[in-house]
Amino acid sequence: MRPVPSILHLDMDAFFASAEQAAKPSLRGKAVVVGGLGPRGVVATASYEARRFGVHSAMPMAQARRLAPNAAYLVPRFGLYRDISEQVMGLLRELSPLVEPLSLDEAFVDLETAGAAWDEASARETGRRLRERIREVTGLTGSVGLASCKMLAKIASEQAKPDGLVLIPAGMERELIAPMPVRTLPGVGPATADHLRRAGIVTVGEIAEAGEDEVVRLLGKAHGIALHAMALAHDERPVVAERDTKSVSVEDTFDVDIHDRVRVRLEVGRLAERCVQRLRAADRSGRTVVLKIRRYDFSTLTRSETLRGPTDDPSVVREAAARLLDGVDTTGGVRLLGVGVSGLADFTQEDLFAQAHVHPDGVVEEELTAEPAGSGPGEEVASGAGAGEEAEAAPRAEPAERIWAAGKDVRHTEFGPGWVQGSGLGRVTVRFETPDSAPGRVRTFRTDDPDLDPAEPLPLVTGGEVAGTEVPGAPTGP
């Protein structure tokens, strides 16, 4: 354990929803829910105002609408969220070269490496200045946790929410976490917590008191040893600046099960194209193409095909995915489709017609699993998001006709920039306002109005660039 609370964990507050409130003055202080708006959509993020009604991430959107019928329901705008994330990560890298992003809105920072924290006071001041600078640059708030290890820093940031800072002093770790519920520890979900409760263990301190042997007996060797160590506030994991991506994938959940085989094939081809776009954006290639199909009965079939060499050619990935589809029976209906590429590399195979590597038994890898109905928080909006991450997604590509989804940016030749409040029956309702304006007026147009066009998101803060900036007032040394 470090003698100084020099590991910082930043978690942006209700990130997607807060960004939407900052962009739309009429929604500030009101309940906002971001996620998939279709019948099978789920909540990606809910504002704190919406959480008071019981709405939370990964909840089915239909349930959220019942709990908070008057909330604003918006589709995600991932381009905007990524831009804000880059600004925030830029500020973190001004503090230290060791920044470990966990998702768009969350990261660990090792303050010791750059000499930004040498005692408790300097660590607290660095955290305070960081929060101040994030608000200046993005207009949003983030919560900061400071501790002597990663696990405790993350616990501290959770305790700090919303818009706060919590520091766990070195030497006080066990005392502070002992009365917390077992669910506080990473990796303890409802099933594990219930198993421990039946054994009379409900707090972190009781895990420590039970002893390693007893916890191993209850949970098994690997999980038990790790959990007992965490209960003793032991976590030696370093902050790692680069986290190697193991795969790239995209997936879609459909509002109505697809039965038409031709439609299924077209969707797989489209997903393959999107997957390659992500692959190229990351300057990577891959050797293994993966097809994921969730069928009408919620069983999930995953098949993979390994090529002779890595590729980022869309035709190769598309054809491999099509071959995998040929071996799957979809007559009962398809609920979800996904295409991914793994076995990533930094170069591509020159042979554009790379063939699949066939195993000696003549089949490709195959795995069949069953999932209960409504299980996975990723339906509709999730697309291979990492653990802990707010359920990020890649929405399905829009067809050629213009679709006015609630929350999307638009621009009118007369009234200027605005956003879609809703649409239907050939009409679209738009509120005209910008991040730095007063709440705007609402107007309704025909969906085919030639003066109304989709637009790019406006920056939340004018001049909010961070390149080459420093966190003002941050400590520079003892």
Q: Which of 135, 141, 133, 148 is nearest to 91 (CA)?
A: 133
DSSP assignment of 258-322 equals: E--HHHHHHHHHHHHHHHHHHHHHTT-EEEEEEEEEEETTSEEEEEEEEEEEEE--HHHHHHHHH
Q: Which of 396, 181, 428, 369 is nearest to 270 (CA)?
A: 396
Strands of 79-140 (E only): list them: 99-103, 106-110
252 is in an annotated binding site: no
Round to whole Å and give the CA distance between 133 and 300.
45
At 130, the amino acid letter reads L
And the tokens for 469? 């900036």
Largest CA-CA distance found in the chain, in angstroms, rounded: 72
Cβ proximity of 4 and 346 under 8 Å? no
49, 106, 112, 251: the catalytic one is 106
What DSSP designation does 284 have?
-
Round to whole Å and give the CA distance between 443 and 197.
56
419: helix, strand or coil: strand
And the tokens for 115? 């000499």
**Annotation marks residue 106 as catalytic:** yes
13 is in an annotated binding site: no
CA 406 to chain centroid: 20
> Binding site membership: which residues?
11, 105
> Binding site membership for Mg(2+): which residues?
11, 105
Active site amino acids: 106
